[in-house]
Amino acid sequence: MSKAMSKTQIQAQTQTQTQTQALAKTLAEVRACALCAAHLPLGPRPVLRAAVSARLMIVGQAPGTRVHESGIPWDDSSGDRLREWLGLDREIFYDERRIAIVPMGFCYPGRDAAGGDSPPRPECAPLWHPRLLPLMPNISLTLLVGGYAQVRYLGKAAKSGVAETVRGWRDFAPAFLPTPHPSWRVGLWLKRNPWFEAEIVPALRARVRALV
């Protein structure tokens, strides 16, 4: 029995090493990507974090200007609110061995005509997510932050709008948990939908504590 276990452990270790090498190679390719450079006002600077051992993955929209400058995902007031929802400090949040951060768009997309952030570039997620996800086999929960992530990962199962999708969070458990985007604009949304912080945030914190 001990020899059989040792062989299994060796096989698992070899598989993990192979996946780690493949993920490192893919991440290097992502960070060198310039596919949509012509459309990026500040140029390409892909921002993401991932590791084979990660158990929680956060899929948001795209970096803002502050994140573009620092190269650190969620390094802004939106990140402060998100960490509050998760019940995590910065040390754990940025431990990529536990938490992968893979947004819909890896680079800052610029501003739209109304002065808000433009949508994530449409080329990004279809190109890179299918290559990255198989290399993170330990993901148990994917947090879908905002409508773009919810539409991609939930497809037709997504409800009519973010509020209804978030309200129906139990329909997507245990693999996914949708949330609104924690930008400054969410303040009014939270006042109109107090059930989110009363009901979903405690459940989210419990799931995250169990994972990380």
Domain locations along the chain: 2-211
Does domain 2-211 match CATH 3.40.50.300?
no
Beta strands per DSSP E along 73-194: 99-101, 141-145, 176-179
Q: Is the peptide bond before 174 cis (omega within 30 degrees of 0)?
A: yes
Mean pLDDT across the stretch 40-60? 98
pLDDT at 56 exceeding the cut of 60: yes
pLDDT at 159 exceeding the cut of 90: no
pLDDT at 3 exceeding the cut of 60: no
Mean pLDDT across the stretch 183-205? 96
96 vs 52: CA distance, rounded Å = 9
Residue type, 169: W
Adjacent-strand bridge partners of 179: 145
pLDDT at 55 exceeding the cut of 90: yes
104 vs 124: CA distance, rounded Å = 7
Of the candidates 98, 102, 95, 127, the residue with the CA atom closest to the CA atom of residue 46:
102
Look up the pTM and report it. Answer: 0.94
Mean pLDDT across the stretch 9-31? 93
Quickly count: other Cβ atoms within 10 Å of residue 190's Cβ: 14
Where residue 94 falls among pLDDT bands split at 50, 70, 90? very high
Of the candidates 111, 102, 161, the residue with the CA atom closest to the CA atom of residue 131:
102
pLDDT at residue 1 in the model: 46
Residue type, 157: A
pLDDT at residue 205 in the model: 98
pLDDT at 190 exceeding the cut of 90: yes
